[in-house]
């Protein structure tokens, strides 16, 4: 029988020791329908998601296995009797492998790193303040981000998967802290640079803790910062990009002023990261798509980007200036084509689609290199650099869309 897109996973043993590889069936042997085409359940510990067990050959599908919180190396064998073109995303649409072509009768082995997490926080000591879980919002409930599963989206023009193995690993992690412009957007046609970044940083695990509507204050009160700090290890990185929501004076509970409280919170975040021998990286917020009559982007962030630059210089922290890079990118596209980088068919002037998120992730990758971070050693071999003044043509961009779609606007919009 032809192998089109069957995942071969060992799920009988879920105490994943460092040497465990998930592969019960012999390589190249197709599982039976009962073994391979079952919906996910916690009791079973594996299976297809969202009804995709009935997918046809060449159609995208989602598959999960139950695993403890942590980082995992996923090794996947692609290819089969027919030519294939496979794109792999993980958890909530994090791009891992992009359009891997396999000739007829040939196989290719690729690997990538996936961070899995749940909302649990170790309980505080008796009589000590704190909480036991991240306070996620109603839109996060049911997402693949906050659970005890490793979820893969098998996509592409013609996805062909023969075998997958999963192994827990201990290696550096890049934590992303921010808002809707960074988070793993659950649904098409929205996307953010944080969920595209793993494609350009295959040498580390990317743990995207950003969420729509978040601010520096709410990241603390919602225990999101506590979750990150509890997992942070020496050698890790923490990318910090706030500002879009922090500047909203109509949100008095979380508003911070550009010349006083905003820099103070940035200093506090930096100090917490350094206390744990990790490396903070500051990222300025990308601009909104607001052109003037001369085709130039107007500044809608006031003094917040300059405050980030000042703190980066004061604290000797690496800076990735998405404010300036995004301005260059949008102006290079021009008022007529720039909407092609944004969500809701270009009606949204803040949030991006796959093309815009992919381009901004390239900006971040270039910023990692320009900042001289050791993290640059983990950049993808095929990343030759990115000049936002010369972006790829949106008409030639082709990333397979995920099957999950919603017209719901991002929280905080």
Name the superfamily (CATH) of residues 171-413: SGNH hydrolase (3.40.50.1110)
pLDDT digits (tens, 9 = 90+) for 204-250: 999 999 999 999 999 999 999 999 999 999 999 999 999 999 999 99
* Burial of 252 from C-beta contacts in 10 A (0-12 / 13-18 / 19+): exposed
How far, in Å, CA of 16 to CA of 13, rounded? 7
Fold: same for 1-170 and 171-413: no
Residue 45 structure tokens: 């510990």
pLDDT of 35: 52
Is residue 193 pLDDT above 70, yes or no? yes
pLDDT of 14: 33
For tokens 């050791």, name the residue.
374
Q: Structure pTM?
A: 0.92
Instruction: Kindly indicate the confidence band of residue 154, based on its pLDDT and cuts at 50, 70 and 90.
Output: very high
Cα separation values, 235 from 175, 334, 375, Å: 11, 40, 10
Q: Could you tell me the strand order of the sheet in which 237-241 lies? A: 205-208, 173-178, 237-241, 279-283, 318-320
pLDDT of 12: 28
Other Cβ atoms closer than 10 A to 58: 15
For tokens 């820099």, name the residue.
263
Could you write out the DSSP letters of every residue in 159-173? --EEEEEEEE----E
pLDDT of 25: 34
Q: Return the domain boundaries, the chain.
A: 1-170, 171-413
Task: Please give the CATH number for the structural domain made up of 1-170.
Answer: 2.60.120.430
Cα separation values, 59 from 114, 156, 306, 346, Å: 23, 8, 47, 27
Stated as kind and residue range, the H or E segment containing 271 is: helix 261-275
Other Cβ atoms closer than 10 A to 323: 21
Q: Are 110 and 74 in contact (CB under 8 A)?
A: no
Residue 200 structure tokens: 């350009």
For tokens 């900006």, name the residue.
363
pLDDT digits (tens, 9 = 90+) for 260-312: 999 999 999 999 999 999 999 999 999 999 999 999 999 999 999 999 999 99
pLDDT of 8: 40
Is residue 119 pLDDT above 70, yes or no? yes
């Amino acid at each position: 029988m032809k192998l089109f897109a069957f995942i071969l996973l060992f799920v009988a043993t879920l105490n994943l020791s460092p040497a465990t590889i998930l592969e019960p069936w012999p390589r190249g042997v197709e599982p039976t329908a009962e073994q391979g085409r079952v919906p996910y359940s916690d009791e079973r510990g594996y299976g297809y998601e969202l009804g995709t067990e009935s997918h046809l050959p060449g159609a995208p599908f989602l598959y999960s296995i139950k695993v403890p919180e942590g980082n995992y190396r996923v090794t996947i064998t692609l290819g089969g009797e027919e030519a294939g073109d496979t794109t792999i995303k993980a958890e909530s649409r994090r791009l891992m492998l992009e359009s891997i072509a396999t000739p007829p009768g040939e196989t290719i082995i690729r690997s990538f790193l996936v961070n899995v997490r749940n909302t649990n926080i170790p309980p505080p000591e008796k009589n000590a303040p704190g909480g036991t879980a991240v306070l996620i919002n109603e839109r996060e409930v049911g997402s693949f981000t906050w659970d005890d599963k490793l979820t893969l989206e098998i996509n592409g023009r013609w996805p062909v998967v023969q075998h997958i193995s999963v192994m827990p690993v201990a290696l550096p992690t890049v934590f992303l802290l921010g808002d809707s412009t960074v988070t793993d957007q659950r649904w098409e046609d929205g996307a953010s640079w944080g969920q595209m970044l793993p494609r350009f940083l295959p040498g580390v695990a990317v743990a995207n803790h950003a969420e729509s509507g978040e601010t520096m204050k709410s990241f603390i009160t919602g225990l999101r910062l506590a979750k990150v700090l509890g997992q942070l290890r020496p050698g890790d990185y923490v990318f910090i990009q706030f500002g879009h929501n922090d500047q909203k004076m109509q949100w008095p509970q979380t508003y911070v002023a550009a010349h006083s409280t905003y820099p103070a919170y940035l200093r506090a975040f930096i100090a917490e990261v350094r206390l744990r021998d990790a490396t903070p990286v500051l990222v300025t917020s990308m601009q909104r798509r607001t052109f003037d009559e001369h085709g130039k982007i107007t500044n809608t962030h006031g003094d917040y980007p300059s405050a980030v630059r000042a703190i980066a210089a004061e604290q000797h922290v690496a800076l990735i200036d998405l404010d300036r890079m995004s301005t260059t990118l949008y102006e290079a596209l021009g008022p007529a084509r720039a909407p092609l980088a944004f969500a809701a068919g270009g009606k949204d002037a803040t949030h991006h689609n796959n093309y815009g998120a992919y381009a901004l992730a390239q900006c971040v990758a270039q910023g990692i290199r320009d900042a001289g971070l050791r993290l640059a050693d983990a950049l993808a071999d095929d990343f030759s650099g990115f000049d936002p003044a010369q972006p790829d043509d949106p008409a030639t961009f082709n990333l397979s869309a995920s099957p999950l779609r919603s017209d719901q606007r991002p929280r905080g919009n």
